[in-house]
Amino acid sequence: MGRNKKYKRSVYQSLAVITQFGINMIVPIFMCSFAGLFLDRKFGTAFWFVLLFFAGALAGFRNIYILARKIYEGDRQDEEQN
């Protein structure tokens, strides 16, 4: 019984991590894209959207890298304690 609970907990934790990865990637891209779209419409240009889209993608990848590193370090510390 205890093993089944532990398995379910790890599945839910994995789903939460996957969801966090998605959110950490999508939010900066959308925020920067909307800012670029706003600036393009305001100034009558056509490059802010593309520029800020890639800036948002880089920010999203950076967020995922930091989150993955924290998770990896936490898992490694848990293994060392056991």
Mean pLDDT of all residues in the chain?
89
pLDDT band, residue 82 (cuts 50/70/90): low
Yes or no: say if 52 and 41 are a contact pair by the CB < 8 Å rule: no
Tell me the per-residue pLDDT of 24-50, one tens digit each, with 9 for 90 and over: 999 999 999 999 999 999 999 999 999
Residue 2, pLDDT > 70, answer no
Q: By residue range, what is the domain housing residue 71?
A: 2-81
For residue 61, the Cα-to-chain-centroid distance in whole angstroms is 7
Q: Which two tokens stand for residue 39?
A: 């600036």
Domain count, the chain: 1
Whether this model's pTM surpasses 0.85: no
